[in-house]
Structure 1
C-alpha cells in the first residue's frame, strides 16, 4: 500500500508543566516515601445545610429586643432567643451524623506508577520503528534519584488513577503541591441508591440487572458503595461533602467545579455546595437533555439532568463565552437580498423552510433609524428625497447616516426609511444555561457513560489549552477523552478496575484533529488559533472611517459606468418600451398587483432619459438591446466589486467573537493521545494488634459520636478483618490448580507486622511450615508488601508463603513469579470478594474462598533474524461470582499488552492488543496510508509483531481479564 508521507502523526506535550516523581510500582519497596501526616479538613459549623429554617420569624424580633436592651435588662428567655436566632438565621441542610463530626481526616496516600502509555510509541512499533523511552515521557532517572520519591520534578504526563477519590485528591494536594493548580473539576457522582445501578461488573457487560451475578466484585467498589449509601441519603451527602471540600482545595482562584446530577438529589447537592463554596460563588444551574424520554408512572416524561456550577471565587472566575449557530427567525428576518442587490420578500416556500433559500442570498430585517431622546432631528437627504423622523432623534450622526447609505444599509419602505440588519452580521447566539442539543450517547462502553458535549461545553467555558482538568469519577474516561481532545492536561480517578480498563482503551485507541498553535514556541500552553466571527453592528459601520477611502476609489468608477449605461438607454426604441410595458401588465393581470417586485419595475419601466444610481435595474430583459445588456452587466460587476471590498472592510473592523471551541485544524497532521500513566494508591497494610482494645480508662462519653479518632477505628477494623480472614482460611483451606485442595492442620495468628498467620498443611505435608500474608481489605497486594514479607519469611524458616488478596498488582506478580528467594515457595491466592459482600448478596458463598490460579499462557519464540515474537494462548480467568477458575482462550480477555524492554520499574506498553475488532478501527481509518492496515489487524489478534531485544533484555506480558484484573508474566532474554 502506498504510504501517505504528507500526513504526520503527532501528540500534544505539555513541556512547560511538571509533576512530581511518584514511585514506580517496581521500585516502591526500594526507596523511601516521605512521611506526610494525615490531613484534617474542618467542616463549617456556622452554615449547616430535612431543610431547616426559622419557622417562627424570630429573626424579625431581633431589632425590637436589641432596642429594649439599651434601656432595660433582657430576660434569660429573650437573651436565648437572640442567640438562637443569630446562629440559625439562614436555612440549612441537616442530615444524620452531620452535627457530631467537626472535621474529617484523610490519609494522603502515595500513588504508584504501574504503567506508562503512549499511543505514539505503539504506532512506531506498527511502523516497524524503534521505540524511544522519551515517547512515554519516562524521566529515565538514575537509581539514586529514582528512589527519592516525590523529591524531583519530571515532565508532565496525564494520569489515570485507581483508588478512592478522597485519598487521591488529598495526595495530589499534599504530596504533589497541586493545591490551587486545578482549573476545572467535573464530578459525576452516583445518582441513585441501588448498588447495581452504579457499577459495571465486567468490561463486556453493560446490561446490568439487580442479580447477584451482575454485581461488581471489586472490593474497592464495594467500599465506595458502602461509604456512599450505608445510611442512604445521609451518608451520600457526607460522602459528597468530604470530596467537595478537598476538591475546593485543589481549585485555582479562577477555577470552576461542575457536579452532574439528576432531579432526585439536585436540590440537596445545591444546598451542600452552598455550604462548601459559599452562596456568593454559585454560578449557574445548567439543564441539559440526556434522553429522548424516560417514562415515569406518576410524573411527566423526564428528559433532563443538571450541572451545578460553582466557582472557587466568582470575582476572579475564568469564563469564556460560547456561541452556537442561530436558526433563521423568518418571522422577523423575512426579506432577502440577492447577489445582484435586489431586495424582495421571502416566498412562503422559503419562509417555512429556510434551507430552501439560495446560499448566495442574504436574509435581513429592517430597524428604525431613529431613537428616543433628544438629539439631531434635521431632515436628511436619501435617494434624492428629504426625510424626517416621526419622533425622537436620528440614531446615527450625519456622517454615519451617509456611510450607511453608501454601503446599502438604508432602505426605503413606502413612506419611511429604515436601516438594514443582515442575519449574517452575527449568525450566532450565545449558549444559555438550557442545553437541548446534548442527546444521549448512542454507543456506550460503560453503563453510566456521559455524553461528551456537556463536558466539552464546561471545559470550553472555564479552561484554556494547557490548563489542568480533574475528574474524580472517571467511569469510561469521558472527561479525560474530552480534555485530551482539546489540549488540556487531565487527571481522572476511579475505584473500579473495569473503569480503568475501559478508559485506558478509549484513550489509547483515540485519534483527534491537530489544532494549530498561536505560538509554536509555547506549544499547547500558548493556545490555539481559533476561528473569529465578525460581530457587525449598524453603529460600528456608521463609525467606520476606513470605508471612506473605498467610497472615494469606487464612486468615480461607478459614475463612469452609469454614464455608459444611460447612453445605451438612448438606443431603446418605443416598440421595445411598449413590449416591456406589456410584460409588466401581463404579470400584474395574471398574478396580481402585489406580485410586482421592485426588480420587475426597474427592468420593464425604463426611464425616459436616465437612471439615478438608486434606480439601476438588477437584471436585463431579453428584449433589451445588446449594448444595454452589456452596459448593465458592467455596472453591476463594478457595483459588486465595491460591495465586496466594503463588506470585507466592515468585517475587518468589527470587534468579532473568538470561538474558543472552533480552533483551526492542520489537515497535514493527525493526532493521538499524549503519554499518560496508569497509577494506583498504596493501600494501608493490615496488622494484628494482639493487645486487647478493652482496658485502660473509659472513653469520654462526649466523644461517643465523634468520628475524628479515625486511627483507632481503622486499627479495630483491620483487626476484625484479619481475624475473619484467618478463621475463613482455617475452615476452608486453599484450592490449587487441577482442583487440588489443601486444608490447614493448624493456622494461628502471628504478632508480626507483615506476616499475619502461620500453620501447617494436612494431607501428609504437616512438616512444611506455611506463613500467610493477607492483602488489604480494600486494595491489591502490592510489591511493597511482597518485598517486605519475603525476607522475613525466609529468615524465620518458612517453607511456603501464601499471599491472599482480592487482587494483585502487576509489579507484585512479577516479584512472586521471579521469586528471588527460591527457598520459600510462594503462592498467590485470590480471596472470593463475597466474603465482604454479605449485606449486598441474596446468597453468599461459603466454600472455596481462597483460590490459586496460574500465569497467562504465553509463548515467547526467537526468530531466525534474532527478533522475538509472543503468542498469547489464553489465561486462567477467576470468576468470583461462582468462585471458579476456568482456562479461557485468548478471545475471552479484555486486553493484553507487551513491554518489549521491561526495566522492572514501570510497565511501558509497546504493543497493545484488544480482541474487540472495532477497538483500533477509527484510528486505522484516520491513519490509512500512514501505517499499514495489517498492523492494526494484528492488534486485534493473539500473535505479536516482531520486536528486537531491548536494553534490559527483559520482556513483560500483561493480560487484563474482563473484570479489569491484571496478570503478568516476565521473560528474561538472557536465560
Structure 2
C-alpha cells in the first residue's frame, strides 16, 4: 500500500556531518578544522577592485579609512540541537485500516529520515566532523546570521551551493518593529518599553548594529551581503525586501557588492494599507533583485490569469458572436464587467499585421474581402502573403478602415507574464493569521523562489522571522536553511513547520527524485506565427500550478534545529580589543556583586528573599564570587558562577563550577547566574565530603543589561530570580509509560515574576522516547498554550484531504482511522504511550515557554 502521509526527501543531496550540541568541542580535533581561532577574510568593498560603479560612503565604513580593508569574521561551529521529522509526529494520530507493513517500514529507522546522521559510532565521530557527508535535511539555525553564514561558507565548504537568498532585514533602526517578546503576541509598539525583547542576544544585536544609526545599518547589511554573494551559485539570485525609507541606500549598497551590471529588477508590491501621513500615503514596499551573474541567472517565467481590462489585457475591447461571426466594440458596461459578457461572444483584440522597417524581399499586395492592402513605406508584413492567406482562411483577419489587423482572442494565451508591479499582496499574501510582528507575505516570497529556483535547489534566509521562507520552500520542494538570533522567532518557525500541511504535488520522476521537478499544468500559446506557418501550438509551463494528488497528505520533511557556538568569543585573549573587553566584563561582574548585596535573590517558587551580608569577587573562571547569607540555621556560604553579559550560560563551565564547589567543601549553595541558559543545564542537590550543596539557576533581570536603552528603568521587585526545574512524572504500566507535565516555573520578563506550575504558559513540549545522550530526536509534540482550533492543523489536513467533514468519509478515502484520543492529547500535558524497550532506557523531555526559553529533563525508565 502506498504511503498516505509523506514528505519530500532530497535523497540525492548531502550536507556536512556536524556535531550535536552534546558533542560540542570535539570537532576541534578534526583534521580539517583545527582548534584555535579561524578567520574568514573578504574585501569590505568589491567595487574598489572593479572601479566602475559610483561608491556610497557612510560613517565608519572602512574603520580607519582604509579602502582596501578586509572584513574579518570569526568562524564558529554549528551544533545539531534537535532532529524533527513531522512524519513521525503525525504517525501517533492515526492507524492504518489496511495492511500496515509499508507504514511501519517508514518509521522503522529514524536514521533514514535524517540521512544516517545518527548512526555514527562514538569512536568515529571526532574524525568525521566536516570530513564526511550526511544525507540532506533542512536546517533551522539560531545564531547571528553573519557568523552562521561564515560558518557554512568556511567550515562546511558551501561556497557556490545556494541558488536563492531572500533577506528581509529590519526596515529601519527602531527596535519596536524588529522583534516580539512572546510566541503568542504580535502586539509590539515601538514607543513602548514593555515591548522590548528580553533576549540578551537580541539586545546585543540591537546595540551593536544600530550604534551609529543608519551608518551601522548599512555596515550590518553590507557584511551579510558579502558572505551571501560567496554562497550563491553563478546562476543564483539575491532578494532584499525593504521599505521606501532606505530602498535607495540599499540599492546603492547592492550595486557595490554585486555590481550594477547584475541588477535585475526593482519589484514593487502593495500592502494592505498605507502608512499614516499628512502628505501622500505609502501603500507599497520593495524587493531589490540582484543576480550573481546576470548573463547566466536562472529564471522561470511566472504568469497570472488574463482578464480583459486588467494588467496585460487592457486592449481587449472587441467581441465576436461565435455563431454569426459578427464583431463589435464592447459597450461601457461590458468594459467595466467583462466577466459578465455572454458566453455567445468571444473577446479579442485587433493587432497590427505590419512591423516597422523595410523588407529586404520587398512587399507584395494582399487582397482581403475584395480590397487590396499594401504596407506603407518603411514597414513590412509580419508574415508572408501565403501566411496572410492562411490567417484569412482561419478567420483571423479583420478590416478596420484602410488597414487589416490580426484577430487575437483573449484565450489564445489565457495568461499574462508578471511584471515588476505586484498588486494586492497585502490582501492575499498571507495564509492564515499573522504569526510574527514583521512577517513577510507568503505570495511575495513564493514568486521570488519560483522565478529563480527549481525543485531541489537550496534557499537561504538569514532573517527567519516566523519562518515564511522555509515554509514556502518546503511547500515547493526546495531545500532550505533559515537563521535567526531570536529564540522567539525560531520557536514560532519550528512550531509552524512541525504542524504544516501541504498539497502533495505529483513528481515528474516516478522514483521520487524531486530534482526532476513536478508535473505542471501547461497552457496553449497560439501566436500569429504559429497559425500563419501552420506550426504546432506551443505550450507554456505554469510553474506555480503543479498537479495535485488529493489522496496523499504531505507534511514538512525532516529538518534539524541547530545552534551557533556560544555567542561569546572562545577566550578573551583572542580578541583584538582584549583590554576593553576585560574591563567591560569586570565592570559587569562588579554590577552583579553590588546588586546581590543590595537586592538579594528572590526565590521564585516560595516568593522569599535571600539577603546577603557580603559578596566578594573571585579570580576564577568557574566560580566568580562568594557570599554569605542568613537563614534560620545561621550563616550560610554561597558561590556564584556569573554567565556572560551577552550570551548563554555554558553547561561546560557550569560542570566546572560544580566540581570546583565540591572540591572546596564549604558551601551550602551554588548559584548559576545568567540571562539565558543552555537547555540541558539542570539544578538539584550535589554531594560533597562535608555534606551537600544546592545548585540553582538564577535569572538576571533584563534591566541590568538594558541600561540606557529603555526610556526609563523599570521598578523591578528583584534583580535575580531563581528558575526552578520542571515537575515531570514518568508513569509506567508494564512495557509502556507516559510522561506527565505537572508544572514548570516560568520566568515572565515582562512582569518580573516566576509563574509556578502554570501549564498554559508552556508553548509546546516534545519527547524523545529513546534518547541516546547525543541527539534529541523529536518523537512526540504537544501544544499547551494554544487555541485548539488554531493548532489542530493535522486533523484539518486529514479532513480537507477528502473534502468532507465527516470522519467516516475521511477514513473511507484514506483507509485510515483517526485516533480522536491522540488528537485530544495534542493540547494537554500527558504524552502518548511510550514503548519501554529495555532497562535504563532514557526518555528526554524538552519544554518551550511562551518567552522562547526552554529546559530539558532526562528520565530513566
TM-score normalised according to structure 2 size: 0.86
Residue aligning to 2:300: 320
Q: Does 1:389 align with 2:374?
A: yes
1:937 aligns with 2:810: no
1:295-347 deviations in whole A, cap 9, x for unaligned? 212x2111011112222222332222222222214874333445557343365
Q: How many residues align?
A: 805
Looking at structure 1, the residues matched to 78 and 487 of structure 2 have their Cα atoms a distance apart, in angstroms, of 16
Residue aligned with 1:469, SS: strand
What do the CA deviations read for 1:83-108 (whole angstroms, capped 9, x no partner)?
xxx99994532224645263343222
The alpha-carbon distance between structure 1 residues 945 and 377, as it changes in their structure 2 partners (threshold 3 A), is same
Q: Aligned to 1:208, what secondary structure does the other structure show?
A: coil
User: Are the equivalent residues in 2 in contact too, given 1:283–1:310 (CA < 8 A)?
Assistant: yes
**Mapping of 1:372-771 within 5 angstroms?**
373-374=358-359, 375=361, 377-378=363-364, 385=370, 387-389=372-374, 391=376, 394-411=381-398, 418-439=405-426, 441=430, 443-521=433-511, 523-544=513-534, 653-683=536-566, 709-710=576-577, 713-736=580-603, 737-763=605-631, 770-771=638-639
Q: 1:308 to 1:685 in 2, by over 3 A?
A: closer
- SS of 1:519's partner is coil
CA distance in 1, matches of 2:293, 2:154: 21
TM-superposition CA deviations, 1:474-530 (whole Å, max 9, x none): 111111111111111111111111111111111111111112222234612222222
- The verdict on how the C-alpha distance between 1:402 and 1:87 changes in structure 2, with shifts beyond 3 A counting, is closer
SS at 1:668's partner residue?
Answer: coil
Q: Describe the SS at the equivalent of 2:518.
A: coil
What is the CA–CA distance in structure 2 between the aligned matches of 1:526 and 1:687, rounded to whole Å? 44
Change (3 A) 1:186 1:417: closer
Could you tell me which residue of structure 2 aligns to residue 631 of structure 1? Answer: none
Aligned partners of 1:98 and 1:238 also within 8 Å: no
Is residue 274–residue 283 contact of structure 2 (8 Å, CA) maintained in 1? yes
Aligned equivalent of 1:947: 834
SS in 2 for 1:771: strand
Pick from 765, 774, 778 the counterpart of residue 909 of structure 1. 778
1:12 Cα deviation (Å)? 0.8
Change (3 A) 1:418 1:969: same
Q: Check whether the contact 2:86–2:499 (CA below 8 A) recurs between aligned residues.
A: yes
Alignment correspondent of 1:262: 243
Larger Rg: 1
Partner residue, 1:646: none
Q: Given the alignment, which residue of 48, 59, 77 partners 1:95?
A: 59
Q: Matches of 1:147 and 1:22 in 2, distance apart? A: 10
Instruction: Find out whether 1:843 has 2:701 as its counterpart.
Output: no
1:832 and 1:850 in contact (8 A); partners too: yes
Q: Deviation string for 1:168-223 (max 9, x for gaps)?
A: 11111111111221111111111233222222111122112333322211101101
Identify if the C-alpha distance between structure 1 residues 376 and 668 changes in structure 2 by more than 3 Å, giving closer, same or farther. Answer: farther
The DSSP-based 3-state class of the residue aligned with 2:514 is helix
Q: Post-superposition shift, 1:19?
A: 1.6
CA RMSD between the two structures: 3.3
Counterpart of 1:896? 765
- Alignment partners' CA distance in 1, 2:470 and 2:45: 35
Aligned to 1:566: none
Asked whether 1:172 is paired with 2:152, we answer: yes
Aligned-partner SS, 1:92: coil
Deviation at 1:831, TM superposition (A): 1.4
SS at match of 1:662: strand
Which shifted more, 848-857 or 325-334?
A: 325-334
Aligned to 2:348: 364
2:854 maps to what in 1? 966
Deviates more, 1:315-324 or 1:33-42: 33-42
Structure 1 position 141 matched with structure 2 position 141:
no
- How far apart are 1:419 and its partner, in Å? 3.0
Partners of 1:426 and 1:544 in 2: how far apart? 17
Q: Is the 8 A contact 1:162 1:681 kept in 2?
A: yes
1: CA distance, partners of 2:407 / 2:570: 81
1:300 counterpart residue number: 280
Q: Which runs of 5+ in 2 are unaligned?
A: 96-103, 800-809, 811-815
Q: State the secondary structure of the residue aligned to 2:744.
A: strand
Aligned with 1:922 (options 777, 793, 796): 793
**Alpha-carbon contact 2:686-2:692 (below 8 Å) kept:** no
The one of 312, 326, 333 aligned to 2:316: 333
Greater Cα shift, 941-950 or 500-509:
941-950
Please identify which structure carries the higher helix content: 1
1:829 aligns with 2:698: yes
Change (3 A) 1:131 1:45: closer
CA positional deviation for 1:428: 2.1
Which residue in 1 is equivalent to 2:265? 284
Q: Find the aligned partners of 2:751 and 2:239 in 1 and give their Cα distance.
A: 40
1:106 paired with 2:106, answer: no
The equivalences for 1:18-37 within 5 A come to 18-28=14-24, 32=28, 34=33, 35=35, 37=37
Cα distance between partner residues in 2 of 1:827 and 1:801: 7
In the superposition, relative to structure 1, how do residues 888 and 195 fare at CA in structure 2: closer, same or farther (>3 Å)? farther
Which TM-score applies when normalising by structure 1? 0.76
Contact 1:21 1:153 in 2 (8 A): yes
Given the alignment, which residue of 782, 787, 791 partners 2:650? 782
**Superposition map of 1:31-46 within 5 A:** 32=28, 34=33, 35=35, 37-44=37-44
1:118 partnered with 2:85? yes
